[in-house]
A and B are shown apart, each in its own frame.
Chain A
């Protein structure tokens, strides 16, 4: 039994790993990103699922490893732990030094560069929610750390942040709800150096989509397996992904999660370029009579697990909105103080200054509600209400911040010379996304 880490879970091990990774400032991004597979898929071209590494099936049979809940400290506190501060410090630097400068190129190539992705696995992004006994770095759940990390990444660039976090979402799902066999089969790959691209696919392409009313179905086939049919959308880096966790309506038991390896016959990926999050390589996953074994159902397939997955995913999206919102606030604060009109900085006008003040007020409000939801989640308290409220705020005010950001720059906000129009497009995603990221 490993020594129990301090209550916040993400221990010194993470920091150690961060410290030993090649320093961030050494990282130089190649201007021309390597793009092979995805290039052709841009225009709606269909490709088969990426060839999978052979995930060596492990029988398992013991109890799956689970992260412990953190305990209620009983004290109202807004101060992150020292570990969290250090982790966030590193991620913030990475976001500022790597993601932000790479955002333009990543967007125009509709993907996040392999160097950037490799860098995130180097400092252990996927490991934050994997139990130590399975090669991860954590003993306790930490939705708060997850939110803080998502926020820090998205302050650099939301699209790349989503691409970086997508494999972590799959690893987290397997950690939280997978069986012993599933954990032993898949998690080692996520704690290695070559983290498999993978995606948590929940959304479906239709108006008023409800993750509790899925059209993608899994029916029991002869011989005990499952046959899956349906179309999933907002699948991150679909053409690269080797493993999917797919939300399906399982015959007789409602919505649940199923593991699908990308090389399974009947799996097709369609590029689905969208208004924003271009660097996340959004795709559709078409499942046409896909056969999976009965034990592909994630864990017990419990309704509560699925519900928790939806909530934690929304929480991660709220966290992303916080980061991009912060980027907008900092950018416009600087801009309104330097841009002059009628002989003085436009910041001297109440009509302008009040807009900036309101961005700050709403951003802080949604941040606190998101953190409350996260802290309830990791303490094992019911957090359905708080997630719904955080999502509402992130959706409503996140978008308001995006549109006001563009407005404050006027015509300059509308052109790509400034990043604000990209943030505007990215922030629209927050209220409508399901799945893809998880804390």
Chain B
């Protein structure tokens, strides 16, 4: 039965998440936007809270734990399921309503943790429990074309030796391990790309420097260098064989799970801007009437309704992608649709909110300007707008990557 309301069983936890986000993240938003690279120590307490909730089985995490397609109840019995993908997205939305940068800085909830949750085997999952894992894919010469990475992993006895330079590693300094993408054999192309969990305690891995950024300044973005770094062979995530038939699909599958999460970040961030802008508009005497035709209302009211419409579409596309995953239906195209729509409207909405709020919105007195800076990255990382469109188009038109390049 078609119903797009928030699942009843998640409503109390969302309320809780919202309060936590308000107290721990929103309250410190400006502080860590101004103090770039300072460690947000307030999050340590929150992280233990999240861990505790996770251990007691009632927590939905902040995203990282939620991307595993666990094999239980519901879907098997033919029942519709609202599971961890959905709850993770809903949780992320609340957190990013408060602060995207701080969400990304959440201890033990890194994107690397998502990768572990998605591709690690059960033994690895147990062994890496409690680690804070960053994710290292991008290189100075390789962005969207991640199949072209040149960081190498060479088998040497019971270890792999990694060499290369990784950039844009979120939480690269604060995390205690990094999931590194490297190629076993460049000649074999994408099938030879594997991911490795590299503890930062190992010799041969170091943080080279931290970036200064347009937004999400609370989150540290590191350059990481791997210099003859010996990584135990059992830290290779997933299957060590080079399966040219399976190709890149395994590594890329992580994205089907993480893209809805990033879409959720954009949805949360844009909601914050919409809420504050609505208050400011109402203070300025603008009334928003959903029944009267928008063209008979003020420009500001009509613009607001238009923004809300795009926002709602982004939200529901995001929930759809999560719902598909929870019910074990393919969601690769929908995940990219969600990321494309949420990425672009998140950015557009926040920027337009600044415009509507005038110099008030532009000033550091309000957080709207900050959200309009934070939102930009969400249309870039985990696959740019253009990459998402490419994925959607290929799926839709049934074209290969050599036909539609």
* Residues of chain A whose beta carbon lies under 8 Å from any beta carbon of chain B: 7-8, 70, 72-81, 84, 144, 208-212, 307, 310-311, 333, 336-337, 345, 347-348, 350, 353-354, 356-358, 360-362, 364-366, 368-369, 371-372, 374-376, 379, 381, 384-390, 392-393, 396
A360-B396 contact, Cβ under 8 Å, with A76-B319, A375-B2: yes
The chain B residue with its CB closest to the CB of A212 is B292
Whether A72 and B8, one on each chain, are in contact in the complex, defined by CB atoms closer than 8 angstroms, is yes
Whether A76 and B323, one on each chain, are in contact in the complex, defined by CB atoms closer than 8 angstroms, is yes
A7-B1 contact, Cβ under 8 Å, with A347-B404, A388-B294: yes
Whether A371 and B4, one on each chain, are in contact in the complex, defined by CB atoms closer than 8 angstroms, is yes
From A77, A374, A387, give the contact of B80 (CB < 8 A): A77
Kindly state whether residue B7 has any CB partner on chain A within 8 Å. Answer: yes
- Report the minimum CB–CB distance from B164 to chain A (whole Å): 30
* Residues of chain B whose beta carbon lies under 8 Å from any beta carbon of chain A: 1-9, 80, 82, 86, 290-296, 305-306, 308-310, 312-314, 316-317, 319-320, 323, 334, 337, 340-341, 386, 389-390, 392-394, 396-397, 399, 403-405
8 A-B pairs closest in CB distance = A365-B313, A74-B8, A368-B316, A353-B393, A388-B290, A372-B4, A392-B309, A389-B309
Known: A336-B397, A350-B386, A389-B308. 19 other contacts (CB 8 A): A75-B80, A75-B82, A76-B6, A77-B2, A212-B292, A337-B397, A337-B399, A347-B404, A350-B389, A350-B405, A353-B393, A357-B396, A365-B337, A375-B4, A381-B5, A385-B290, A388-B290, A389-B312, A390-B309
Interface centre among B4, B294, B308, B404 (most CB of A within 10 A): B4
Whether B396 and A310, one on each chain, are in contact in the complex, defined by CB atoms closer than 8 angstroms, is no
A74-B313 contact, Cβ under 8 Å, with A212-B292, A368-B320: no
Whether B296 and A371, one on each chain, are in contact in the complex, defined by CB atoms closer than 8 angstroms, is no
Whether B9 and A74, one on each chain, are in contact in the complex, defined by CB atoms closer than 8 angstroms, is yes
* B290 contacts across to A, CB distance below 8 A: 384-385, 387-388
Whether B3 and A388, one on each chain, are in contact in the complex, defined by CB atoms closer than 8 angstroms, is no
* B1 contacts across to A, CB distance below 8 A: 7-8, 70, 73, 77, 79-81
Q: For the complex, what is the distance from the CA of A81 to the CA of B308, rounded to whole Å?
A: 29
Whether A353 and B291, one on each chain, are in contact in the complex, defined by CB atoms closer than 8 angstroms, is no
Whether B293 and A368, one on each chain, are in contact in the complex, defined by CB atoms closer than 8 angstroms, is no
Whether A208 and B320, one on each chain, are in contact in the complex, defined by CB atoms closer than 8 angstroms, is no
Jot down 26 A-B pairs with beta carbons below 8 A, ordered by A: A77-B323, A78-B323, A79-B1, A144-B2, A209-B293, A210-B293, A348-B399, A348-B405, A350-B393, A354-B389, A361-B317, A361-B341, A362-B341, A364-B317, A364-B320, A368-B313, A372-B5, A375-B2, A379-B5, A384-B291, A387-B290, A388-B290, A388-B294, A389-B305, A396-B306, A396-B309
A76-B5 contact, Cβ under 8 Å, with A333-B396, A385-B290, A388-B290: yes
- Report the minimum CB–CB distance from B300 to chain A (whole Å): 15
Q: For the complex, what is the distance from the CA of A392 to the CA of B345, rounded to whole Å?
A: 15
Whether B80 and A307, one on each chain, are in contact in the complex, defined by CB atoms closer than 8 angstroms, is no
* A364 contacts across to B, CB distance below 8 A: 317, 320, 334, 337
Interface centre among A77, A84, A345, A357 (most CB of B within 10 A): A357
Whether B291 and A388, one on each chain, are in contact in the complex, defined by CB atoms closer than 8 angstroms, is yes
* A310 contacts across to B, CB distance below 8 A: 291
Q: For the complex, what is the distance from the CA of A78 to the CA of B5, rounded to whole Å?
A: 11
Whether B337 and A360, one on each chain, are in contact in the complex, defined by CB atoms closer than 8 angstroms, is yes
Q: For the complex, what is the distance from the CA of A230 to the CA of B386, rounded to whole Å?
A: 52
Q: For the complex, what is the distance from the CA of A84 to the CA of B1, rounded to whole Å?
A: 9
Q: For the complex, what is the distance from the CA of A337 to the CA of B308, rounded to whole Å?
A: 35
- Report the minimum CB–CB distance from B299 to chain A (whole Å): 14
Whether A356 and B3, one on each chain, are in contact in the complex, defined by CB atoms closer than 8 angstroms, is no
Q: For the complex, what is the distance from the CA of A94 to the CA of B5, rounded to whole Å?
A: 32
Q: For the complex, what is the distance from the CA of A372 to the CA of B323, rounded to whole Å?
A: 15
* B312 contacts across to A, CB distance below 8 A: 369, 372, 386, 389
* A376 contacts across to B, CB distance below 8 A: 5
A365-B314 contact, Cβ under 8 Å, with A76-B319, A78-B2, A376-B5: yes
Q: For the complex, what is the distance from the CA of A357 to the CA of B397, rounded to whole Å?
A: 9
- Report the minimum CB–CB distance from A359 to chain B (whole Å): 9
A392-B305 contact, Cβ under 8 Å, with A7-B1, A365-B313: yes
* B396 contacts across to A, CB distance below 8 A: 333, 356-357, 360
* B295 contacts across to A, CB distance below 8 A: 208
The chain B residue with its CB closest to the CB of A361 is B337
